[in-house]
Structure 1
């Protein structure tokens, strides 16, 4: 769907030039009706829609908004900036959050809270408010009966009145510091994900850490446990690797389905040790059998001299995972890690406890 909102306990789902309705008793109107017939002046192919607690509905498309209700008759376009200060154009979604009654917009995988003016929330602020979900490929959002629904390609999350996806399984008893080894790691939208077994842990850009594990299968649908490697490209596509298969998350893909590594990553071996995007050149590098494999259209195994020349002056024996964050490159081993700077070269070596703040 393009947009969604709830008006007088009826949820309206907009697609193209039509809308569909879900009533408060759960019954559904399966046949679409023309948006222009019931919402005069509102265009098709909307970006977002939201209804405030005082009953005013705003529709958004491009750099324009359309007000329905609040004493307005026919909906006429107005610039978003004229009423919604600091709110961007071409929105992804909008909704009123049941927790605080404020309007939240979504754009480029970020929440924007609107209270007199828009304020983009950091990943940490979003999680603190209860938005523990990814926004990649979010299509629409709405609130109904004190719940908040986030619609994607083929699935949805329901976030409860006080936040957090209510269907989410309990946090694991596993603590990020219960082991110093991880299977894989990658940074997505400034949040670093560390994978171990069937769980993942997160480190936010401000250094705060989610210490309890959450199920990989819940947030990365279709991705298996016990990964070999993971990497996120600069255009936001994440690849997970296990055995001879890879799983793509993002880039227009819905549920992650396995594909042979060889079908997309030519000359890249199976059963990888690690993968990361190097801050120096933006290319993907794989690690296998103590060797770096640079990927640019196809994999190329680097000699030891080539590896040192581009800044990898470190050993790879027992490397468990690697990731990039804030222009640095981290290489995780059994109990310690190396940090390689933006232009290469080991900057420091520390106990993993320091990275995970296990002694705090």
Structure 2
């Protein structure tokens, strides 16, 4: 009976004979189909078959006891009511680990940025402290120079006053003359001392000015070097982010291209099989044929070995028993040697990952 479309929801209706032949399981199938927003009845049947095949395979792997399965192994059964296929559910742990790695990387980047900011603050604090020390040294040098000048001037004034007093108190012209000569000598010596002190003061001021200029230049060079280092680090981070974004875009584009090619190949294969009105068994035989070709690329169809694909692979892929898998493999070999020649796009639909 051909499928009909529910005009209210745009979803395939479940055939009437299924409601009659399986009155208990069909409502469950309908419920999952609606909750997962699957519009195609055949897609939902394929999902159920894949899930049942995975359950059978897992039971065999665990020696017939599913209670020994880990939570990760049980994900397809756990997530099926939420609309996940077997492949999507099994891919969840890898996706979660990738997201956790990304979060850890972002946290590391935030930590590195915090450390850079802390280093910048420390460098600025050290520069300010150095500037304060230089200012204190300059003020101390100026104060010491002023004290020396004041002491020299006081000494000169005292010597001059003493000489003038001796001259006034001298008794007689000879003593007065001697006093004047002595006073003149003392004044000359005081002026020379004052000149020396003035020169020392000027040298101290020049040294202080030179120290201040050198300190400012050193501080400016240090700040400039720090800014250049920070700018270089930011530029490197920006380049790395751009490269990572470009890489991610390339991966995304490549994945999208592969998905599109696979979807197109699936559509072509399905259209061809629908046109030929093949039964499910005939379709499965063609899938096994494509698996055989994928397992032996470049081998002529007439010489394809029937054991190139293991029965276990066929059971896992199609969800059938071992007997049916063996029959399908013989039928697939006959197809390849007689009438069926898959295109490269069809062969890519059924890659093989394990062999006998």
Does the pair score TM above 0.5?
A: no
Pick the structure with more strand per residue.
Answer: 1
Pick the structure with more helix per residue.
Answer: 2
State the TM-score, normalized to the length of structure 2.
Answer: 0.23
- Which of 1 and 2 has higher RCO (CA within 8 Å, sep 6+)? 2
